[in-house]
Amino acid sequence: MKEQTRADVIIRADFVAWNWWRRCGRGMGLMQGARLIGLDWGTSSLRAYLFGDNGMALAERMAPSGVMHLQRFLPPGKTEAPREQLIEAAFDEICAEWLAEKGRNLQVIACGMVGSTVGWKEAAYLKVPVGTGALAKALTMVKTADGVTVQIVPGICAAGVPGKSFPEILRGEETQIAGIIARLAVPESGASENLLIGLPGTHSKWVQVRDREIVSFSTFVTGELYGLLTRYSVVAKSEKKPELLDAESFHLGLQLGRARTGEAAGGLLSTIFSTRSKRVLSELREEQQPDYLSGLLIGEELASVQRVLARDQRSLSDYSRILLAGDRALCARYQAACRQLSWPAPDFVEGATELGLWSIAWAAGLVN
Amino acid sequence: MKEQTRADVIIRADFVAWNWWRRCGRGMGLMQGARLIGLDWGTSSLRAYLFGDNGMALAERMAPSGVMHLQRFLPPGKTEAPREQLIEAAFDEICAEWLAEKGRNLQVIACGMVGSTVGWKEAAYLKVPVGTGALAKALTMVKTADGVTVQIVPGICAAGVPGKSFPEILRGEETQIAGIIARLAVPESGASENLLIGLPGTHSKWVQVRDREIVSFSTFVTGELYGLLTRYSVVAKSEKKPELLDAESFHLGLQLGRARTGEAAGGLLSTIFSTRSKRVLSELREEQQPDYLSGLLIGEELASVQRVLARDQRSLSDYSRILLAGDRALCARYQAACRQLSWPAPDFVEGATELGLWSIAWAAGLVN
Q: What are the structural domain ranges in chain B?
A: 6-193, 222-349
Q: Residue A27 pLDDT more than 80?
A: no
For residue A152, what are the β-bridge partners? A110, A140
Of the candidates B220, B266, B281, the beta carbon closest to that of A308 is on: B266
**For residue B14, what pLDDT band results from cuts at 50, 70 and 90?**
very low
> Are B219 and A277 inside 8 Å of each other by CB?
yes
> Are B311 and A265 inside 8 Å of each other by CB?
yes
Q: Residue A106 pLDDT more than 60?
A: yes
**For residue A302, what pLDDT band results from cuts at 50, 70 and 90?**
very high
**For residue A54, what pLDDT band results from cuts at 50, 70 and 90?**
confident
SS3 B155: coil
b or e along A328-353 (b: 16 or more beta carbons within 10 Å of the residue's beta carbon)? eebbebbbbbbebbebbebbbbbbbb
Partners of residue B128 in chain A, C-beta under 8 Å? none
* Mean per-residue pLDDT, A221-244: 90
Strands (E), A11-86: 36-41, 46-51, 57-63
Cβ atoms of B56 and B22 within 8 Å: the answer is: yes
How many contacts (CB atoms, under 8 Å) link A and B? 169
**For residue A368, what pLDDT band results from cuts at 50, 70 and 90?**
confident
Query: Mean pLDDT across chain B, nearest whole number?
Result: 89
What DSSP character marks residue A323? E
> Are B167 and A304 inside 8 Å of each other by CB?
no
Of the candidates A168, A233, A311, the beta carbon closest to that of B224 is on: A233
Cβ atoms of B295 and B250 within 8 Å: the answer is: yes
**What ipTM goes with this model?**
0.89
* Closest-CA distance of chain A to residue B307, Å: 6
DSSP for B83-128? HHHHHHHHHHHHHHHHHHHHTT--EEEEESGGGSTTSSS--PPEES
Q: Which of A219, A138, A221 is nearest to A178 (CA)?
A: A138
Do the strands A213-220 and A321-325 form a parallel or antiparallel pair, or are they unpaired?
A: unpaired
Distance CA(B236)–CA(B276), nearest Å, equals: 6
Q: Residue B147 pLDDT more than 50?
A: yes
Q: Residue B266 pLDDT more than 80?
A: yes
- What percentage of chain A's residues is helix, strand, coil (to nearest 5)? 45, 20, 35
CATH 3.20.19.10, applies to A6-193+351-363 = no
Q: Residue B195 pLDDT more than 80?
A: yes
> Are A229 and B228 inside 8 Å of each other by CB?
yes
For B43, half-sphere exposure in the C-beta direction (CA atoms, 13 angstrom radius) is 8
Q: Residue B243 pLDDT more than 90?
A: no
Element housing A318 (H / E)? none
Same fold: B6-193 with B222-349: yes
* Closest-CA distance of chain A to residue B19, Å: 34
Q: Which of B128, B166, B218, B294 to mutate to test the interface with A (most CBs of A within 10 A)?
A: B166
* Mean per-residue pLDDT, A77-95: 95
> Are B280 and A169 inside 8 Å of each other by CB?
yes
Quick one: CATH architecture of B222-349?
Answer: 2-Layer Sandwich (3.30)
| The pLDDT value given to residue B6 | 33
> Are A167 and B232 inside 8 Å of each other by CB?
no
Q: Residue A274 pLDDT more than 60?
A: yes
**For residue A193, what pLDDT band results from cuts at 50, 70 and 90?**
confident
CA-based torsion, B341, B344, B345, B351: positive or negative: negative
Distance CA(A121)–CA(A113), nearest Å, equals: 10
* Closest-CA distance of chain A to residue B15, Å: 33
**For residue A191, what pLDDT band results from cuts at 50, 70 and 90?**
low
* Closest-CA distance of chain B to residue A220, Å: 5
Among the CATH numbers 3.30.420.40, 3.30.420.300, 3.40.50.2020, 3.30.70.1520, which is that of B6-193? Answer: 3.30.420.300
Partners of residue B283 in chain A, C-beta under 8 Å? 160, 167
Partners of residue A301 in chain B, C-beta under 8 Å? 269
Element housing B69 (H / E)? none
Distance CA(A194)–CA(A321), nearest Å, equals: 7
| The pLDDT value given to residue B191 | 55
> Are A277 and B167 inside 8 Å of each other by CB?
yes
Cis bond before residue B154 (omega within 30° of 0): no
* Closest-CA distance of chain B to residue A273, Å: 6
**Nearest residue in A to B279, CA atom:** A167
Partners of residue B218 in chain A, C-beta under 8 Å? 266, 270
| The pLDDT value given to residue B11 | 41
pTM, whole model, 2 decimals? 0.89
Cβ atoms of B26 and B59 within 8 Å: the answer is: yes
Distance CA(B212)–CA(B179), nearest Å, equals: 11
| The pLDDT value given to residue B31 | 60
| The pLDDT value given to residue A305 | 98
End-to-end CA separation in angstroms for chain B: 35
For residue A210, how many other CB atoms are within 10 A of its CB? 16
* Mean per-residue pLDDT, B214-227: 97
